[in-house]
Amino acid sequence: MPWIGNKPVRIVMRWQLIVTLAMVLILGLMWGIHAAASALLGGFVSIVSAAAFAAIVSRYRGATAGGVLITAVKAEAVKIVVMITLLWLVMTLYKDVVAVGFIGTFALTVLIFGMALFVTDDARVARFR
């Protein structure tokens, strides 16, 4: 993910991937292959929408507060459209989806993406990464 210029987003997306893989393993062992696939798809929806957000935010090089706000709103709108589209595709095309695994992993990874606000760029503070 070197194309993502925003370090907090890059770190949070890495955690989304780790949690997705953990959920795939746990649900796969508990409920089988369809639960594992559902967890993978739930994480995939969240990670792809986060990547769309990151692609837009990473391109911005302006310095005004208004420019930052407009870019953030555009990126969030794109993320939501991608998210809704992918959720709809999975729910309509994958007939054996395990809803608890799919929605649970999706919700968990979306919450993790929200933690980007708490990740700092300051190297003096971020010693454990």
Tens of pLDDT along the chain (129 residues) come to 556 666 778 888 999 999 999 999 999 999 999 999 999 999 999 999 999 998 898 887 767 888 888 888 999 999 999 999 999 999 999 999 999 999 999 999 999 988 866 766 655 444 444
Whole-angstrom CA distances from 106 to 59, 70, 121, 125, 128 are: 26, 26, 26, 30, 26
DSSP-derived letter for residue 120 is -
Cα-Cα-Cα-Cα dihedral of 67, 51, 58, 69, to 10°?
10
Q: What angle do CA 89, 95, 101 make, to 5 degrees?
A: 80
Are 20 and 112 within 8 A, CB to CB? Answer: no
Please state, in angstroms and rounded to a whole number, the distance separating the CA atoms of residues 120 and 118.
6
